[in-house]
């Protein structure tokens, strides 16, 4: 399955994967499968960066602990580092 991964505000993660947006080919069809693929491909340091908000196709929020959340071929998954301020 092909997934487009986008990173917003997570500079350390961008350095690990080589950019703000990548397309990856993975096995499986759940958010947990995506996380497993990321860990296998980029290692433990990347997983430590993933304490952020996750958005599917620009409109559906994914809870970080919902490993069975279904993904489909062609989905766009965005990891966002929320910032406070004002």
State the average pLDDT for the chain.
Answer: 90
pLDDT score for 4 = 97
- What are the φ and ψ backbone dihedral angles of 28, each rounded to 5 degrees? 95, 180
Q: Convert the pLDDT of each residue in 3-60 to its tens digit.
A: 999 999 888 888 888 899 999 999 999 999 999 999 999 888 877 777 789 999 999 9
Dihedral sign computed on CA atoms, order 33, 37, 43, 47? negative
Domain boundaries, the chain: 2-80
Q: Is 18 helix (H, G, I), strand (E, B) or coil?
A: coil
Report d(CA 70, CA 46) in Å as an integer: 22
H-type helices in the chain, by residue range? 11-17, 31-42, 44-48
Report d(CA 32, CA 63) in Å as an integer: 11
CATH, range 2-80: 3.10.20.30
pLDDT score for 38 = 92
């Amino acid at each position: 399955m092909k997934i487009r991964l986008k990173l917003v505000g997570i500079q350390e993660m961008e350095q690990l994967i080589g950019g703000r947006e990548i397309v990856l080919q993975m096995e499986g069809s759940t958010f947990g499968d995506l996380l497993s693929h990321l860990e296998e491909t980029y290692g433990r340091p990347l997983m430590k960066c993933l304490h952020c908000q996750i958005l599917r196709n620009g409109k559906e929020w994914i809870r970080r602990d919902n490993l069975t959340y279904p993904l489909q071929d062609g989905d766009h998954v965005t990891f966002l580092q929320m910032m406070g301020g004002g």
